[in-house]
Amino acid sequence: MKNFNIKILSIIILITIFIFSCDKSKKENENAPEQNPKQEQYQNDRADAIDADQQSIDEPTLGNLEYLREFNGKYPYEVNLFDHQDFTDRLKDLLGSRYDFLISTWAVEFPIEVNNDIFVASACEAHNCDATNFIIVVDFSSNVMYAGIREEYNVETYSEDGGSIEEVEIWAR
């Protein structure tokens, strides 16, 4: 009985602390001085400027895909390839509206290959590998992404720099 009373008392104390701490933070927010619109705009502009400065500092590594080297020999699903933000952001920019088709049709995967500073991921549509398949290539030496989509034997190739790379050219044949 004594343990039961201690448990009840402990629960009551915890609930009281929780209620008072929530009430205190609410009052602090209510008592905060209101800003005039010009001051608020200045603070927003300043925050944007700081973000822009930080982005320009980080720019050389932004979108850096060097971590893909670690995926050699693994399947894209094993490394959650399309969950890596830098990778998917660049792929979306590269493919535009075709990105959704690639993601929805990408099914039968092949092991990722990394050779001579070149990353290659490829897959095809289930039960239709000959006619519909995909390749994604990253040249680490130039930090350029390339891709190819073959849909019902029609081939489209994509490049971040407007050029081509041998791996995509061979795949496209």
Task: Please tell me the distance from the alpha carbon of residue 147 to that of residue 159, in angstroms, as a whole number.
Answer: 7
Residue 41: the pLDDT is: 57
Domain count, the chain: 2
* Shared domain check, 94 and 39: no
Rounded average pLDDT over 10-25: 61
Residue 134: the pLDDT is: 97
* Shared domain check, 117 and 51: no
* Shared domain check, 10 and 88: no
Which residue is listed with tokens 């009840």? 8
Give residue-wise pLDDT tens across range 20-79. Answer: 565 554 454 455 445 555 555 545 555 554 454 444 333 334 468 999 999 999 999 999
**What value does the mean pLDDT of the chain take?**
81
Rounded average pLDDT over 137-155: 96
Tokens (6 digits) for 64: 């850096």
* Shared domain check, 164 and 106: yes
Tell if the pTM clears 0.85, that is, is over it. no
Instruction: Read off the CATH number of the domain in which 87 is found.
Output: 3.40.1420
**Kind of pairing between the strands at 118-124 and 113-115:** antiparallel
Residue 154's DSSP bridge partners are 151
Instruction: Give the single-character DSSP code of 97.
Output: T
Task: Please tell me the distance from the alpha carbon of residue 167 to that of residue 6, in angstroms, as a whole number.
Answer: 71
Nearest CA to 141 out of 62, 69, 59, 55 is that of 69
Q: What is the DSSP string of 26-83?
A: HHHHHHSPPPPHHHHHHHHHHHHHHHHHHHHHHTTTTT--GGGGGGTTS-TTTTTGGG
* Shared domain check, 75 and 52: no
Residue 13: the pLDDT is: 72
Task: Please tell me the distance from the alpha carbon of residue 58 to that of residue 38, in angstroms, as a whole number.
Answer: 30
* Cβ-contact 72, 122 below 8 angstroms: no
* Shared domain check, 97 and 18: no
Structural domain range at position 28? 2-58
Type and span of the H or E element at 101: helix 98-105
Q: Is the pLDDT of residue 114 over 50?
A: yes
Residue 39: the pLDDT is: 52
* Shared domain check, 76 and 153: yes
Residue 98: the pLDDT is: 97
